[in-house]
Structure 1
Amino acid sequence: MKHLALATTLAVTALPALAKPVEVSLRPVARPAITLVPTTTETTTKVNAGFQRWVKAFLPRARAAGISDRTLTRAFRDVHFNEEVIERDRNQSEFTKSIWEYLDSAASDKRIKNGKSALRQHRRLLNQIERSYGVDKEIVTAVWGLESAYGEYRGDHNVIEALATLAYDGRRGKFFEGQLIEALKILQTGDTTAAKLKGSWAGAMGHTQFIPSSYQAFAVDFTGDGRRDIWSDNPADALASTAAYLKKHGWVTGQPWGVEVTLPRGFNYGLASRKIKKNPAEWARLGVRSANGGKVPNYGGASILLPAGHRGAAFMVFKNFQVISRYNLSTSYVIGVGHLADRLEGDGPLKTNWPRNDRALTFAERKEMQTLLTKKGFDTQGVDGLIGPMTLASIRAFQSARGDVPDGYASLSLLKKLRR
């Protein structure tokens, strides 16, 4: 299980639309909402009884995985079915914020100001981490800023209770039971106590929100005190663990995540694909330039990314973009981390305007788009509300047939054209 491919495998909170950006955890998730059946005292009693039966049946499986009775007794003391966890899990709204709305919050003035303050306060530590792992301190700080607002929102849920509740719920029971076993192992090795094992309602923990399996695989003891303490007010172990995670997933020292670029008139938008890689010199021969006007230095193979189609910002993204995506699959998240890191380093805002008169499509609208494309002869090979390669190809074919720019962007304006 990759750490925080959470956009697809682990329930995480998506921010609602905000009038002003506020500094909270920014972790997007793409899922349809599910309506809960209203609970009553009778149903709650039945669920609690069922949960306790599940715990009783789980204990032998935990023992078989090497968890001691002493650890189980400490971990499950006062643990109950947590209805709020299930409600949060099932009522997650799909991620419907546009890229520009997301970046308004990810790189808000407050988040930039607090990030620069965190860099100053922890500069010695962050410099040590950068030297040890080769990961830019601004990238590590940006992950910290998006995951917990620089440690301010680390989560206060009992992780054992949250994971047990989600495992009992059964919708993704096998995954969460596996995370529960790993969390119990954390307690057993003494890295923290049951009282301090706190995190999000979905079991993500610490300053940079590791899930238990990723903690086991990648967390480090940077302070040398014998514990990998990502929960402490001292963020050293958590920040170093984040750098270690990125390094082990292929971080290239000295390479940017991406560079904002401008595309020439008549650009072949079929080349704007993560599957197509060219070095910056090759892109330059096709007329692609840095948004600052010059050529992009040779940082290695790169793709062109258009998160809002041809009317928004364009980016030339490198391997480190993919590395950050191993932390969270959402394109908005990766750009958010990268752009916030750039701002913390002193860069200014993006130079290209966004199509702010547009908005992101809802889950139902994306399904409607797929249905209409297929009916008009541009088969998306299924209707699932996900804009994958087949839907992207169908959109481009439809745009080409109309004489529009074939950028493959699933916009509201495109949906309106399909409806007509």
Structure 2
Amino acid sequence: MVCSRSWRRLALALVGIGSLTLPGGAIHAQDGGFAACLQSLRGQAAQRGVLPQVFEQATNGLTPDSSILQLLDRQPEFSRQPWDYINGIVAQNRITEGRRMMVQHRAAFERAEQATGVDRYIIAAIWGIETSFGRSKGNTSVVRATATLACYGRRQEFFRGEFVAALQIIGRGHVAPGEFRGSWAGAFGHTQFMPSTFLRAARSSSNAQRIDLLGSIPDAMMSTGNLLREEGWVRGQGWGYEVTIPANLDLTLAGRDRPMPLSQWSARGVHRIGARAFPRASDQAFLHLPGGARGPAFLMLPNFRVIMKYNNSESYAMAVGHLADRLRGGGPFARPWPVSERALSREERLEIQQRLTQVGLYTGTIDGRLGAGTREALQRYQARVGLAADGFPTAALLQRMRQGG
């Protein structure tokens, strides 16, 4: 989440690593510093075409939002078991409402899919997850949120750009200042675009000059499809397949950096649920075991990685893909999750990374977020000690690590 081509996940993963250095009470004692920080952005704003009167109107009397300090480090995509997160999102009420909304706004989805090539069900799933189909777009001032994060915290440089982008949006007449409200980290609209992402990828469904992501569902659906298209969405391809794997499969083949054609996976005994054929045997896919060897298994297509650019979390991307399938009429996953496995605490997740580092198997950041790098290191450890190398972190595995070896 460090490049300009990332959007909503910047609001979570970047600012969510650690916490801001200022306690909530101290931020008010530095209002003078906040004003000076904003004034230091005047030149950058002018270079991007923000008129002086727009800058003055947006910053006059503006104060930092100390409530943002309490909202960091709350990332359910990374702290809950994948099945808890996915099942919580892909709930029956959301499926029912999503199907109703897709019928009600059929024309908007048809235009977005036709123009961008992105599956309308994926677009609808993102809408449902991000704002419950527009009911929860957020009520925080985007200007105030981005200004606060531009002046406090670890990613000030990034949010300075977002603050200026928010002023550009106002200056171009896309959003009235009083209506420019969204999430605590600056994402806004039906599908929660960061300001810089709006400037890059937002599109009007009717080719109008003004793009309205807050009030226009057609604009929001078109923009979401265009954003995924720009990030590399493959037209006509899905996000992945639930599969069965043979008992003797080498589980070290699992992982994002080990893709192979579906035909090769088939030759190794990996088959689609229900014995259905893969539509295109030449498509590249990687094996994903979000619940370990005892949970459901998936072959993920390149579009899965595109969804992850919306939020850099495999659980989020799976929730989007699964909700899209349910909206289309599909059923739940065929294989049950290992629900008896409890979620590890942050301290336990940190300990796993520390122990993997100590034995030379992990070189990444020790942050408690057990992403692909940590899981690959776990696979190497499991293979070293003769365990099934599924990369799935459990309390039993941590106990085995504590015993040495």
Q: Fold match, TM over 0.5?
A: yes
* Equivalent pairs, count: 399
Alpha-carbon distance between aligned partners in 2 of 1:147 and 1:287, rounded to the nearest angstrom: 37
Query: How far apart are residue 48 of structure 1 and its match?
Result: 2.2
Match of 2:238 in 1: 256
Query: Aligned with 2:72: secondary structure?
Result: helix
Name the aligned partner's letter for residue 275 of structure 1.
D
Alignment pair present for 1:153 and 2:136:
yes
2:162 alignment partner, one of 179, 184, 202 = 179
Alignment pair present for 1:403 and 2:386:
yes
Alpha-carbon distance between aligned partners in 1 of 2:23 and 2:355, rounded to the nearest angstrom: 32
| Structure 1 residues 209 and 393: alpha-carbon distance in aligned structure 2, compared to 1, 3 A threshold | closer
What's the TM-score once normalised by structure 2's chain length?
0.91
Alpha-carbon distance between aligned partners in 1 of 2:305 and 2:158, rounded to the nearest angstrom: 24
Query: Aligned with 1:302: secondary structure?
Result: strand
Query: How far apart are residue 337 of structure 1 and its match?
Result: 0.4
Once the two structures are aligned, what percentage of the paired residues are identical?
34
User: Is the CA contact 1:143–1:337 (under 8 Å) kept in the aligned structure 2?
Assistant: yes
Alpha-carbon distance between aligned partners in 2 of 1:200 and 1:38, rounded to the nearest angstrom: 19
Name the aligned partner's letter for residue 30 of structure 2.
V
Alpha-carbon distance between aligned partners in 2 of 1:380 and 1:3, rounded to the nearest angstrom: 27
Alignment pair present for 1:11 and 2:7:
no
Matching of residues 8-407 of structure 1 within 5 Å? 9-11=10-12, 31-32=17-18, 37=23, 39=25, 43=26, 45-89=28-72, 95-232=78-215, 234-298=216-280, 300-375=283-358, 377=359, 379-381=361-363, 384=366, 385-387=368-370, 391-407=374-390
C-alpha offsets along residues 381-404 of structure 1, whole Å, 9 cap, x if unaligned? 366134466644442233224332
Query: How far apart are residue 32 of structure 1 and its match?
Result: 4.7
Alpha-carbon distance between aligned partners in 2 of 1:128 and 1:143, rounded to the nearest angstrom: 17
List runs of 5+ in structure 1 lacking aligned partners: 14-28
List runs of 5+ in structure 2 lacking aligned partners: none
Name the aligned partner's letter for residue 57 of structure 1.
S
| Structure 1 residues 379 and 132: alpha-carbon distance in aligned structure 2, compared to 1, 3 A threshold | closer
User: Is the CA contact 1:379–1:394 (under 8 Å) kept in the aligned structure 2?
Assistant: yes
User: Is the CA contact 1:302–1:317 (under 8 Å) kept in the aligned structure 2?
Assistant: yes
Query: How far apart are residue 253 of structure 1 and its match?
Result: 1.7
Alpha-carbon distance between aligned partners in 1 of 2:109 and 2:77, rounded to the nearest angstrom: 35
User: Is the CA contact 1:139–1:337 (under 8 Å) kept in the aligned structure 2?
Assistant: yes
Query: Aligned with 1:298: secondary structure?
Result: coil
Alpha-carbon distance between aligned partners in 1 of 2:56 and 2:73, rounded to the nearest angstrom: 29
Query: How far apart are residue 66 of structure 1 and its match?
Result: 2.5
Query: How far apart are residue 96 of structure 1 and its match?
Result: 0.9
C-alpha offsets along residues 338-372 of structure 1, whole Å, 9 cap, x if unaligned? 00000000000001111111133333212211333
Query: How far apart are residue 85 of structure 1 and its match?
Result: 2.1
C-alpha offsets along residues 198-238 of structure 1, whole Å, 9 cap, x if unaligned? 11110001000000111101000113332111011x31111
C-alpha offsets along residues 56-98 of structure 1, whole Å, 9 cap, x if unaligned? 3332442243311121122224422211123323676883111
What's the TM-score once normalised by structure 1's chain length?
0.88
Q: How much is the aligned-residue C-alpha RMSD, in angstroms? A: 2.4
